[in-house]
Amino acid sequence: DAGVTQSPTHLIKTRGQQVTLRCSPKSGHDTVSWYQQALGQGPQFIFQYYEEEERQRGNFPDRFSGHQFPNYSSELNVNALLLGDSALYLCASSLFDRGVDQPQHFGDGTRLSIL
């Protein structure tokens, strides 16, 4: 039973560039959430996708965008990269169950470094 998989594992970019991170949810899950974790901090919610729509968004600028595909996989895109975007980007998947908060399961993350 494959867990949440993310690619790539590491990425180095320069300021102003654009990046795309990818996530495949755990088998049987239909919801994908993205988080940013800076060094020494807890993960911060970026947004969540369900049924190919952005369902909720955290306090992140429009430079951060995403997509969910019919097979439930997801992409996170970040434009005009800033030094402050250097972080571990985590994808989490869950199964949407109305009325019950399902715990989210995380992938290994993509470590993004901006030079």
55 binds other proteins (CB under 8 A): yes
For residue 54, what are the β-bridge partners? Answer: 49
Stretch in the footprint of other proteins (CB under 8 A) among 13-21, 66-74, 79-87, 99-107: 99-107
Closer residue to other proteins (CB): 20 or 50: 50
* Interface with other proteins (CB under 8 A), residue from 14, 18, 56, 113: 56
Q: Site map for other proteins, 25-54, x if CB under 8 A?
A: --------x-x----xxxxxx--x------
Q: What is the DSSP string of 4-29?
A: -EEE-SEEEE-TT--EEEEEEPPTT-
Q: How far is CA 36 from the centre of its chain?
A: 8
Exposed/middle/buried for residue 92 (C-beta within 10 Å: 0-12, 13-18, 19+):
buried
The pair of structure tokens assigned to 7 is: 């690619």
- Beta strand residue intervals within 38-101, DSSP E: 44-50, 53-57, 64-68, 74-78, 87-94
User: Closest approach of Cβ 16 to other proteins, in Å?
Assistant: 27
Q: Rule CB under 8 A: which of 61-90 touch other proteins?
A: 88, 90
Whichever of 17 and 102 has its CB closer to other proteins, that residue is 102
Q: Which residues of the chain form contacts with other proteins (CB under 8 A)?
A: 33, 35, 40-45, 48, 55-56, 58, 88, 90, 92, 101, 103-109, 111
